[in-house]
Amino acid sequence: MRQTGVDLQLCEDEGGGVNLGWTRSGEWLDYFVTVVAGRYDLVLRVAAQNDGGRLAFDLDGLPLAEVAIAATGGWQEWTTIKVPGIQLPADRAGEVRLRVLAGGVNVNWFGLIEGDDPPDPSGDCAVSYAVTSDWGSGFVVETTITNHGDSLISGWRLAWNLPAGQSISSSWNVTLATEGSSVRAGNSANHWNGVIAPGASVRFGFVVNGDSSQRPAAFELNGSLCDHGR
């Protein structure tokens, strides 16, 4: 855990102790964790006087979630936020980094808890996975995410598993990370390609090494299964 450059204060939430306070953009803390492979929910306890706070969480550089924090009614008026659908592909011991993207958020605690299996696709999102070039030993994919829901998607992460024998060598218009066959791609809300209005779409691309006849079986957007075409 980082020892300097962050501020702690006495916490009035249940359980007492101290909380992280007076947060500013660019601050971060590392927490050492041991986790087993599985599907998790990120749960965090926060308080904020005003809207506009934003936190991000990474595991050894692999993006886990980005969370927008709305006003809770005061600096010691606490609420619990849950971000579902975080898939960890392998057992590991590592560092979870909490990054402050926009300050003005107090943090009491956060944790990863065992999550439920994703529900069937709701129809609120769709993913198109289109091979635009193929040379036998590799191919180019253009991926389109469409928001069919009624709400703005402000910051998004798309997760899927690569078929056996495939790997990704490069990508564009997205922040993309792989671990084994697990892929996470996404953009924060302040990225030019990070917001999807109702009825709108975003696109990004990547190069895959391997046979293009095998396609991903499912895609999850912010923890929810999407309809998809192959």
- Distance, in Å, from the CA atom of 170 to the CA atom of 31, rounded to the nearest integer, reads 29
Q: Which fold has domain 125-229?
A: Immunoglobulin-like (2.60.40)
- Residue closest to 45 by CA, chosen among 126, 121, 122, 106: 106
Q: Which fold has domain 7-114?
A: Jelly Rolls (2.60.120)
If one compares 114 and 230, the residue with the highest pLDDT of the two is 114
Parts of the chain belonging to CATH 2.60.120.260: 7-114
Q: What pLDDT, on the 0 to 100 scale, is given for residue 101?
A: 92
CB 221, CB 145: distance < 8 Å? yes
pLDDT at 102 over 80: yes
Residue 218: how many other CB atoms lie within 10 Å: 13
- Pairing of β 106-114 and β 182-187: unpaired
If one compares 181 and 105, the residue with the highest pLDDT of the two is 105
Parts of the chain belonging to CATH 2.60.40.290: 125-229
Question: Averaged over 176-203, what is the pLDDT?
Answer: 90
* pTM tops 0.85, yes or no: no
